[in-house]
Structure formats: structure tokens, C-alpha cells
Amino acid sequence: MARPRKPLLSRDRIVGAASALVDAEGLEAVSTRRLAAELGVSGPSLYNHFRNKDEILDAVADAVSAKVDLSMFDECDARDWRTALHDWALSYRAALADHPHLVPLLARGPGRRPAGLKVADAVFGAMVRAGWPPAQATYIGALMRYFITGSALGSFARGFVKDETAYDPADYPHLGQAHLLADRQEQIDEGAFATGLRALLDGLEAQYATLRPTPHHP
Amino acid sequence: MARPRKPLLSRDRIVGAASALVDAEGLEAVSTRRLAAELGVSGPSLYNHFRNKDEILDAVADAVSAKVDLSMFDECDARDWRTALHDWALSYRAALADHPHLVPLLARGPGRRPAGLKVADAVFGAMVRAGWPPAQATYIGALMRYFITGSALGSFARGFVKDETAYDPADYPHLGQAHLLADRQEQIDEGAFATGLRALLDGLEAQYATLRPTPHHP
DNA sequence: ACCTGAACACCGTTCAAGT
DNA sequence: ACCTGAACACCGTTCAAGT
């Protein structure tokens, strides 16, 4: 076979196949050999398009960041930064929920992934425009990412196992109330996310109110 | 050699060696063969003490949870639940900072790890005693864990890479301000964590104030 | 009960060889 | 330039064999 007249692979085709494989069977199902087989080529072929496996997974992860809606930051100003942050958080969380197996990768931060950086850039820019000092705007981008990715990781990994016998009331006197059992986990995740998001935004608003107002433009 | 008169291995010895290996060289350095070599035995020996590699790593992760201080919840009541949560968050974060390579494991929730469950139990119990309704107490435990583990993951993984040329100002107009570059990352992590924690607790306090007060005991 | 070596079915990556 | 098979240095886990 050797080199075909038209390339069999492309970065896009590889990323697409890897993405499908991760979503269907999880991160640990992705091996270079398995992925290559899925694409109808032999393992080493991938190395003509990516330096290594990590680079492939980075590209897959970045495709998720690219789906996060950022339009709410476009016209956002001092009046509605809270609404923008809120809507962005929901969009971010929804994007992660669509690809739960990729959350561990995304939780590590943007690195040099372009879409991840675009997200960070949009949040920072909007917060500065809304009147937050640059340092605070940076913190807001980071702490929102902490909470959103942390919640996604915690949720999708299903923090508690299903087997009730794992939780002996003698060891954990308060868990017996079944408030933490797996069958209620989804409601708990929703409630905890909503409660935490509201608390965060309430807290930030209180802090925003203590800033000295930015001078008017003449 | 075969069976020695006194066992060469124990669960504790294995966990200790695995822990040291993870801390020194990271999660990916831990293979059953490498770990066994470190312990002076052959690979399959480990399977006399643990069902598989994941069980070993679970035990290593749980050892970290066991180091989280929970004493602030002992006498905590309606007056000081906020302080208790605050101090616990710092202790939790410090425990994670001591073992950054284990954060991805811990961020997935307690599972059936005993020390992880003890943490969840302590937070829940204290919040209920402080007057939070059980459902809210559950949310608080979850959302605090989201924020703390999310921040640990984001920090220790170093969200942005050092190479400044990775961030073309044409692509990310607001990142050029150097507020997000790697050499300042540690200060940013500290600031973002402190700001987020304060916002969360402020927000929760506002919510607590709207609860109808619990009736006095006669 | 607890350790061993051999074996199975995998890995990621490199590289010379082919077109 | 782009794909191949062979090869290297690994994996996690099972299992019969030893004491």
C-alpha cells in the first residue's frame, strides 16, 4: 500500500474518530492502535498528523471548549455581568455534560488549547469592561472555571456508589439519611450546582458593590 | 523463593510505596511492575493484597482524605458554621497541595473510600446541626467539594503554559495584559481561591439569613 | 497463605522501507 | 508526503507451580 494518491487521514478525521470513541467508551478505550483500527489504518500512521497521543486528546478536548457559548459576553457591561456569567456557566456545564469522559482533561485548564484560551479571554475581557479591576477579572475567570469543572468532575464520576451497604451507619452517622445515595445523585448535583452558582454570584455582586465606581467617560 | 516465613508485603507497605512513587514521579509512573520492583518483589505479588491497580490507587487517595482536618466541625453550631467551612476548605486545599498528582483521583468523589466518606459525613452533620435543612446541607457539602477540588486541579496542573508566544494577542486580545501568564499563576491561584471562597461563603450566609429560624428546644 | 516465572493480550513510539 | 510492518520497551492481569 504505502503512500496513497489521496491521504487517508487528516487531523480532523482523527479528532472526529477519537471524539466518538471517547464518548462511546471512555478515555481508557482510546489507544493509538484502537483508534487507528477504527480509521482503517495502522497504528503508526497517526504520527504523521500528531506528535503523540496527548496532542490528539488535546485537540478532542478543545473541540468541547469550542462549543461553549460566549455570545453573552459580547455586549455585556456593568449592568449585566452577573447574568452573562450565569448564562455562560450553564452553557459551559452543558458542554461538559455532553462529553463527561473529557472533563478530567478540560479541568486541567486551557494549556495551549486555542478554544480554551478563547473562553478565558472572553470572560476576562467582559469583566474588565463591566468595571472589574483586571486582577479581580482574572480571579473571576479562574474561580468560575474551578467551580464548573469541579462540579462536572464530581457529578459525572458519580461521587457515591450505588451499593447502599457500602455506607455503614456506625461509620458515617449522618449519611444514613439517604441524602447522599447514588439514586438521588443527579438531583443533588443539580441542586448543588444551582446553589453554589447562586452563592458565588451573590458573593461577587456584594464585592462589586464595594468597588469605587469607575469614572464616567467625558 | 515462593512463600516466605514472614510475609514480604502488606497493604500498608504497598500503599506507602505507591504514595511515595506518585508524589515523586506522578500518577503515570505507577505501574504494578514498577511498584513491585520498588518493594523488592515481582509484579504479580501485589495481587495477593489488592484486587487490582485501581484499588491500590484508591487506598493511596484515601490516605490523603484522612489528613483533612475535621475538628472544626466538632462543636460547630449556628454561630460559626461559616468559620468552620472556611477553615475546613483551607485544610482540604492544603492536603491536596501536598499531593498534587492525586487530585484527579480525589476530584471524582468519595466513592467507597472510607476517609472520603468521613469528610462528607462530617460536613453534612455539622451543617444540619447549624440549622441548615438536610437538602441544603447536602448541597453545601457537594458544592464546597466542587470548588476545592476544581481549584486544586486547575492550580496544580498549571492552567497556562510558560511559553508566552503561545498567546498571540491577535487571537486573544485581552490575555496580553499578562494577567494570565504562568509566572504569575501561583498568585492568581491563591487570589482566585480566596476570592471564590469568600464569595461562596458570603452567598451562603445571605441564603442562611432567609431560612425561617429553627424552633428553640423547650 | 504468599510469592514466583511464564504467558496472554495489550500498550506508545520509532524507524527503515516503500511509493 | 504519507502509509506500512517490524521492533523496542513497556503495560495489567491470570495462573499453575512452589513452599
**Domains in chain A and their CATH numbers?**
11-64 (1.10.10.60), 69-209 (1.10.357.10)
Distances (CA, A) of B34 to B4, B55, B74, B102: 21, 16, 42, 18
Contact at CB, A160 and B202, closer than 8 angstroms:
no
Any atom of strand C under 7 A from CB of A54? yes
- Chain B residues with CB inside 8 Å of A130's CB? none
Any atom of strand C under 7 A from CB of A3? yes
Task: Indicate the average pLDDT of chain B.
Answer: 90
pLDDT at B91: 98
Statement: residue A75 has pLDDT above 60: yes
Mean pLDDT in residue range A90-105: 96
What tens digit of pLDDT does each residue of B18-65 get?
Answer: 999 999 999 999 999 999 999 999 999 999 999 999 999 999 999 999
Tally Cβ neighbours within 10 Å of residue B7: 11
For chain B, give the secondary structure using H, E and C: CCCCCCCCCCHHHHHHHHHHHHHHHCHHHCCHHHHHHHCCCCHHHHHHCCCCHHHHHHHHHHHHHCCCCCHHHCCCCCCCHHHHHHHHHHHHHHHHHHCHHHHHHHCCCCECCHHHHHHHHHHHHHHHHCCCCHHHHHHHHHHHHHHHHHHHHHHHCCCECCCHHHCCCCCCCCHHHCCCCHHHHHHHHHHHHHHHHHHHHHHHHHHHHCCCCCCCCC
* Local confidence band at B180 (pLDDT 50, 70, 90 cut-offs): low
Statement: residue B214 has pLDDT above 70: no
Rounded to a whole number of angstroms, the distance from the CA of A2 to the nearest CA of chain B is: 34
pLDDT at B84: 98
**∠ Cα B47 B49 B50 (to 5°):** 65
Which amino acid would we find at residue B192?
A: A
- Lowest-confidence pick of A12-16, A56-60, A177-181: A177-181
Query: Taken in order B40, B45, B51, B54, is the CA torsion positive or negative?
Result: positive
Residue in A125, A127, A147, A146 with CA at minimum distance from that of residue A136? A127
What Rg value do the Cα atoms of chain B yield, rounded? 22
* Residues A156, A148 contacting (CB under 8 angstroms): no
* Local confidence band at B164 (pLDDT 50, 70, 90 cut-offs): low
* Local confidence band at A38 (pLDDT 50, 70, 90 cut-offs): very high
A110 versus B12: which is more confidently predicted?
Answer: B12
Q: Which SS3 state, helix, strand or coil, does residue A74 take?
A: coil
Mean pLDDT in residue range A172-180: 67
Mean pLDDT in residue range A190-213: 95
* Residues A112, B155 contacting (CB under 8 angstroms): no
* Chain pair A-B, CB pairs under 8 angstroms: 234
- Percent of chain A past pLDDT 90, that is, above it, reads 73
